[in-house]
Amino acid sequence: MTYVFVETDTSGDVTLTSAEAITFARTNTHLLPDGAAATSRRVAGDPSGSTEGVVVGELTDDAVAQLGRLGVSVIHHLEHPDLEDYSAAAWAQAIVDIAPESGTLLASGTPRGMELMAHVAVRTGQAMAANIVACDDDGLLRQVFGGTAFERLRLDGDLHVLTIAGHACNPEETTPVTPEVYDYDLTIAEADLATRVQRTEAEVADDASGLTSARAVVGAGRGVGSENGFGEVLELVDHLGGALGVSRVVTGLGWRPHSEQVGQTGSRISPDVYIACGISGAIQHMAGIEGAKTLVAINTDAEATMVQRADYAIIGDLHEVVAAVNEEIVRRKQ
């Protein structure tokens, strides 16, 4: 069977990336370690065995219904006063305590998912493979070099511990099931609480800008020229009700905060449209925008990778072009 660590947001809903990971688990018939499949298939007709969710902390009715629509047949619900404040070691041990001995245990490749699976891997004596994008007869395939290349690998052991790369698949609902919810009596060791979160400052949330959920993202790179060069771009963000995303050069120069960075070491986004203004299209930036449905480039250089990769492009100075786009939007609204 496949256990998926499920992250929920502050309102208790299943996050988009967890929905992706569940879909990945449910639709990948090759996910189980050799030998584990036969003994652990519990759902007739489902070659990968059952997909079960692991939720730590509050479990809302909405989340149960969402998980049911995603095809999760069993929810392992881990709740304990000592798990309320996040501690990777305590959460990981709770997961280890209820995890199967054979099968697959996976999480989305978010900071939380990565951290927890790494702890789980050490505690269960397993290897862990991060950033998996596919799984077939030839083994697992994972992203390396920030998405520039893929690595083919096989893991030994009866329990596979994995994280799924962001946007490796689209979340898909299936014939809804009513998940059984299992609650547990948990014992949390004091030693595992040593690195518990003391407090959280919500106002400086990493994704305060809504970058990862915006339908339209306007990207700005070194081409904006200076800290004061974002005027037109921000106005366009406003017209689209979207978010600003920037390249690493922009955060490195201190023009904008890191929370707005898109790419390998920033956010991975999947908006309906990404408008890259003055961004060259370095591989580490592209790693963050693979999920964009439509890609638009505005660049002075017609040969820039971003232009070559885009669906639509305008060649020209971004300040002039974006200002004209803003004017045109205002004109059409009148």
Partner 1 sequence: MNILVCIKRVPDIAGAVTLDDAGTGIDESGLGHTMSSHEECAVELAIQTAAATGGTVTVLTVGPAEAVEQLRAAVAVGANDGILIEAADPSVFGPEDIAQVIGDVVRDRAEAGQSFDLVLLGNDAADTGDFQVGIRLAYDLEYPVLTNIQMLTPAEDGSGPGAGANSTAGGSGSVEARGIGPAGTEIFALDLPAVVAVQEGGVDPRYPSITGRMKAKKAAIVEYDAPEPGTGNPRIRLELPEVKASAVTILGEGPDAAPALVDVLEEIGVIRP
Q: Kindly identify the residues of this chain, within the stretch 89-128, that bind partner 1 according to CB under 8 A.
A: 89, 110-112, 114-115, 118-119, 121-122, 127-128
Residues 226-255 that bind ligand FAD (CB under 6 A): 247-250
Residue 112 parent element (H or E): helix 111-124
Q: Are 279 and 223 in contact (CB under 8 A)?
A: yes
- Using rule CB under 6 A, residue 218 touches ligand FAD: no
Q: Which is nearer to partner 1, 71 or 221 (CB)?
A: 221
The residue type at 124: T
Q: Which is nearer to partner 1, 41 or 215 (CB)?
A: 215
- What is the distance between the alpha carbons of residues 317 and 66, in angstroms, rounded to a whole number? 46
* Segment interacting with partner 1 (CB under 8 A) among 48-56, 75-83, 98-106, 138-146: 138-146
- Using rule CB under 8 A, residue 170 touches partner 1: no
Residues 49-78 that bind ligand FAD (CB under 6 A): none
Residues 189-208 that bind partner 1 (CB under 8 A): 194-206
Listed residue (70, 80, 71, 56) closest to 6, CA to CA = 56
Q: Which is nearer to ligand FAD, 84 or 207 (CB)?
A: 207
Listed residue (293, 291, 287, 280) closest to 265, CA to CA = 287
Q: How far is the CB of 289 from ligand FAD (least distance, A)?
A: 9
Q: Of these partners, ligand FAD, partner 1, none, which one is at the site of residue 221 (CB under 5 to 8 Å by kind)?
A: ligand FAD
Q: Are 240 and 218 in contact (CB under 8 A)?
A: yes
Interface map 269-308 toward ligand FAD (x if CB under 6 A): ---------xxx-x-xx--x---------xxxx--x----
Q: Are strands 74-78 and 180-183 parallel, antiparallel or unpaired?
A: parallel
Listed residue (42, 131, 50, 57) closest to 95, CA to CA = 57
Pair of tokens at residue 54: 């692991």
Interface map 147-166 toward partner 1 (x if CB under 8 A): xxxxxxxxxx------x---
Q: Are 15 and 62 in contact (CB under 8 A)?
A: no
- Using rule CB under 6 A, residue 256 touches ligand FAD: no
Q: How far is the CB of 285 from ligand FAD (least distance, A)?
A: 3
Q: Which is nearer to partner 1, 46 or 206 (CB)?
A: 206
- 174 — phi, psi (to 5°)? -135, -170
Listed residue (133, 158, 122, 134) closest to 38, CA to CA = 158
The residue within the footprint of ligand FAD, chosen from 49, 71, 103, 223 (CB under 6 A), is 223
Q: Are 256 and 246 in contact (CB under 8 A)?
A: yes
Residue 124 parent element (H or E): helix 111-124
Residues 265-294 that bind partner 1 (CB under 8 A): 265, 272-273, 282-284, 293-294
Q: How far is the CB of 180 from partner 1 (least distance, A)?
A: 27
- What is the distance between the alpha carbons of residues 321 and 325, in angstroms, rounded to a whole number? 6
- Using rule CB under 8 A, residue 34 touches partner 1: no
Q: How far is the CB of 109 from ligand FAD (least distance, A)?
A: 14
DSSP state of 212: T
Listed residue (265, 169, 279, 308) closest to 217, CA to CA = 279
Write out the residues near ligand FAD by the rule CB under 6 A. 221-223, 247-250, 261-266, 278-280, 282, 284-285, 288, 298-301, 304, 317-318
